[in-house]
Amino acid sequence: MKHKFSSIDKLIKSNFKVFECPLTDKLLAENGDTDLVIFVKNNVGEFFYIDSPLPHPSTNLSVHSLPLKKTASICKNEEISKLIALLSEYGLLVLLNESGEPIGYLHFSSVLKELYDSYQYLEAYFDTILDTIDTSVCVIDEQETVEIWTKEAEKIFSISHQEIIGKKIIDYFDVNNLEMLKTLKNGKPFYRHQHQPRSDLFVLVNNNPIRLKQKIIGVVSVDTDITSQIRLNQELFNSIRKVQHLEQEVTKLKPANDPFQGIKGSSQEIARTIEMSKKAAATNATILILGESGVGKELIAKAIHDSRESAGAPYIPINCGAIPPSLFESELFGYEKGAFSGAINTGKKGKLELAQGGTLFLDEIGDMPLDLQVKLLRVLQDKRFYPVGGTKQIEADFRVIAATNRELIDLVKQGKFREDLYYRLNVITIKVPPLRERKNDVIELVHHFLYEFSIRYNKPIQVISQKLIQDFLHNDWPGNIRELRNSIERLVVFSTDEMISTNEHVHLSDDSGPSIVTDNSTFTDTLSTLQDELEKYEHKVICQMLLNENGNRLSTAKRLGISRTTLYNRMKKLGIM
């Protein structure tokens, strides 16, 4: 919010008069007025003012008896900071218009009062905002002293406002857990960083440095309590795990009748896509599937095929962007023996002929060569085609599903895709949402892939940390479901026990997403002894398991595979009790 400082025009005083040097007693007597402020301008353009009340004109005025004090002049449109700097030096300031003519003056006292009023105005807004927001806000100055501590901060951290204000933040928190000190030092903000200040508390932290004239003078830290969300996510994760386990068992006993069952997710976004796909599958119309790379366009296409074609009907996919243009025609239409140099003597059936009685899936249709688009259009129109080098027409009895991650209408405008083919394909359009628009499905997909790869690699993963789940939920996933699936596979491959935590071989970032982390990257020069590191990890595992079991120590001991007595002893030693 901008400061509520009045316009300079409102503060300009006009009870003044300017005299050119020399100022005589007679001139002053004729023009003097006790209510006027008299300015004198010398021959080099400097201004002076009479620094005392003028006596009544009837008295004998003497210019030499009146004190003259030097001041400065400045254009009224100058920045307020320059005006205040000159006022603090001279106390009185002559204001000039654009032509350099005096139009009035500013007095330090009136500007000071206006500044104070503006300060009170802002303070009222500021205090009300802090009393109204329901998040924890902590502000420290450059000396690490706590300047602001809101009611929600009192509630989350169990430290009162009266107790902490004016004290060093390091007196109340472990310096190693204070990310805001790092921001104070390096000036780097960070957002949505999950932090666990206590074993029973999870918060999301946003830190931002406060800068004044390029200097860091403090840090603002905003914490949001997400403990309930973490617990709900964990309960949802456990429920999904049980449901999917039951689904796997049911699938073994009874084959699935719904071809769309393999498309995971229960969000409204994917539900709408599946519903539209089912309606499209009830027809023989050509279908165009749109969506970013990795969203599962081929899964949708295969489900539509299985839904509307009879058992055993061919499903022939062809990636239009993976076949060299020189081979595309023979791959699509097939060829007769001797059709060209290097051709197989017996000839070869093309994808169109192999798809007879079934579905031809044209993936990445936007990458199809322009000259072949004409021939494909003719096939779709005439329902027949010639193999390369052939003289006998073949009937084209198949359904077409096309897919692309590009905007075909833009390619049409650029002349890279035929308009008539676009409208021939665009009978029914199905848009598959990206993963960032269906975040409610992330947990279900994580567990689905976790279960899949646990079985494949024979690694019984039981727990994935809530920190990693939160990171997954907040990541944008530019590679969509494919990227998420690959990330889970890496986690499972590199896992060494039944729990996957945030620092194991995958890290997330807003720019690049998940990536491999080498073993050496997890070690730094600040590592303590092996025993200390093991105890830190043990502390983390026990706290996480206690959270998963809602504080039930007997259940926690069973999940950890130790006795309750052992758990009590370890908690006591590690300072968890």
Whole-number Å distance between alpha carbons of 380 and 398: 10
- Dump pLDDT digits (tens) for 507-526: 454 443 343 333 333 334 44
Q: Cβ(423)–Cβ(417) under 8 Å?
A: no
Q: How far apart are CA 52 and CA 74, in angstroms?
A: 23
Q: What is the CATH number of domain 8-115?
A: 3.10.580.10
Q: Where are the alpha helices (DSSP H) in 191-267?
A: 227-253
Contact 230, 543 (CB under 8 A): no
Write out pLDDT tens, residues 353-397.
899 999 999 999 998 888 888 888 988 888 888 887 777 888 888
Binned at pLDDT 50, 70 and 90, residue 420 comes out as very high
- Neighbouring CB atoms inside 10 A of 202's CB total 22
- pTM for this model (two decimals): 0.52
Distances in Å between the Cα of 403 and the Cα atoms of 55, 283, 287, 426 are 94, 18, 8, 10
Least confident of 5-19, 160-174, 244-258: 244-258
Q: What is the pLDDT of residue 449?
A: 87
Reported for 23-32, long-range contacts at CB under 8 A and 24+ positions apart, including other chains, are 23/63, 24/63, 25/61, 25/62, 25/63, 28/61, 28/63, 29/57, 29/61, 32/57, 32/61
User: What are the extents of the domains in the chain?
Assistant: 8-115, 133-225, 259-433, 440-574
Write out the two tokens for 133: 């927001």
CATH homologous superfamily for 133-225?
A: PAS domain (3.30.450.20)
What does the block give as tokens for 250?
A: 């049911």
Q: What percent of the chain has pLDDT over 70?
A: 80
pLDDT for res 392: 82
> pLDDT band for position 87 (50/70/90)?
confident
| Alpha carbons 402 and 212: distance in angstroms, whole number | 57
- In angstroms, the CA 136 to CA 482 distance is 37
The fold of the 259-433 domain, in CATH, is Rossmann fold (3.40.50)
Counting Cβ atoms within 10 Å, is residue 294 exposed (0-12), middle (13-18) or buried (19+)? Answer: buried
Structure tokens at 548: 């998963």
**Buried b or exposed e, range 72-100, using 16+ CB within 10 angstroms:** ebbebeeeeeebbebbeebebbbbbeeee
Q: How far apart are CA 450 and CA 459, in angstroms?
A: 10
Quick one: fold of 440-574? Helicase, Ruva Protein; domain 3 (1.10.8)
Interval 301-308 mean pLDDT: 93
Alpha helices in 146-226 (DSSP H): 151-157, 161-164, 179-186
- pLDDT digits 0-9 by tens, 327-352: 778 888 887 765 555 555 566 888 88
| Position 522, amino acid | T
